[in-house]
Amino acid sequence: MANVVVVGAQWGDEGKGKIVDWLSERADVIARFQGGHNAGHTLVIDGKVYKLNALPSGVVRGGKLSVIGNGVVLDPWHLVKEIESIRGQGVEISPDTLMIAENTPLIMPFHGELDRAREAHASVAKIGTTGRGIGPCYEDKVGRRVIRVADLSDNDTLELRVDRALVHHNALRAGLGLEAIDREALLTSLREIAPEILKYAAPVWKVLDEDRRAGKRILFEGAQGSLLDIDFGTYPFVTSSNVIAGQAATGVGLGPNAIDFVLGIVKAYTTRVGEGPFPTELNDADGERLGTRGHEFGTVTGRKRRCGWFDAVLVRQTCAISGVKGIALTKLDVLDGFETLKICVGYEVDGVRYDYLPTQAALQARATPIYEEMEGWSESTAGARSWADLPGAAVKYVRRIEELIHCPVAMLSTSPERDDTILVTDPFED
């Protein structure tokens, strides 16, 4: 019985939702371990589309426990609306199927206001944040002034937490030209939402430890992608949390020995939303074709994603940092019909060749991709469910990716539908 961590191995939007949903059939518990409702997962099940932000992907499956871990920052008002929306699609959500860690930090309305105000005032370089308050909430967590789920259960504690936060935030708001926070209105809003959140609250670390000891399978679900990691991503154009696999243990309260298999989700080409370096970006007809065929628009923001050729250098790097044991390669069908495909196998910066992306921002900005060309295929790979269904050139493309990233393909996805998946290695049985 293995416990599996799923991480995005690029800049997010790799198709984690479908893979997590596909794997959740084999899991007993699905635990979200980082990020906020700035991340979006789209699931397509029997032609029905589910769009999730804060909720773990496992909620659409009956009989599974879905967990929001302490590594997540949670907007309680958004969560309640999302639960109502998913219930409206016929999905049952109750304290028996959803659990929130008691020590989960809560995103306040003033976090989003600060996020948006900072981006609007950015005079040097915009980060490209979604403006949903994720970054400011993580800042408050580290600054020891955040309000957590457990604080909602005691009015005296809640008032102390709010007062501590307001001392900091009202000073910031004054500098940005924003009005002071209405303390009483905020407390009233928190007291009203508290019963809706507290009914799901639990000591997640304890529950998961008991489940693990009982031999239950746990699927750890990450958001975003490893290149947005606060430490190892393309800083400062990153998210505000650790996205890599090591965060899975910390983000729910289990030790690293609870992780048996790390599955990296990798798109067959590369995309990115927002600002920041992107060595293989295509600002031509090929880039437009990838975006159109891949429906590359953000689940949360609706923003058009930047598209480019597959970057083996970056994926090799993220697989090493997260200890990826196998990858799930997604959206292979988007490449159908390209006469020639390119794979980035290195960079050149000022005449020097690199086999990794340098940390220095100035070098990242000047990195020119070194490409290897491969023959494309004209046949369709959409809906393929076995290697025999794939054109020979497509198989060669996949095998070359494995060689370049030093990691085997465990799963291959050929459409958004759950069953259009070629399983090479079952992570739960490895």
- What are the angstrom distances between the C-alpha of 333 and each of 185, 337, 380, 390, 416? 51, 9, 7, 10, 10
Q: Which two tokens stand for residue 30?
A: 């699905």
Number of other CB atoms surrounding residue 42 within 10 Å = 17
CA dist 187 and 430 (Å) reads: 49
Question: CB burial class (10 A; 0-12, 13-18, 19+) of residue 63?
Answer: exposed
SS3 of the chain: the string is CCCEEEEECCCCCCCHHHHHHHHHCCCCEEEECCECCCCCEEEEECCEEEEECCCCHHHHCCCCEEEECCCECECHHHHHHHHHHHHCCCCCCCCCCEEEECCCEECCHHHHHHHHHHHHHCCCCCCCCCCCCHHHHHHHHHCCCCCEHHHHHCHHHHHHHHHHHHHHHHHHHHHHCCCCCCHHHHHHHHHHHHHHHHCCEECHHHHHHHHHHCCCCEEEECCCCHHHCCCCCCCCCCCCCCCCCCHHHHCCCCCHHHCCEEEEEEECCEEECCCCCCCCECCCHHHHHHHHHCCCECCCCCCECEEECEEHHHHHHHHHHHCCCEEEEECHHHHCCCCEEEEEEEEEECCEEECCCCCCHHHHHHCEEEEEEEECCCCCCCCCCCHHHCCHHHHHHHHHHHHHHCCCEEEEECCCECCCEEECCCCCCC
Among all residues, which ones are annotated catalytic?
13, 41
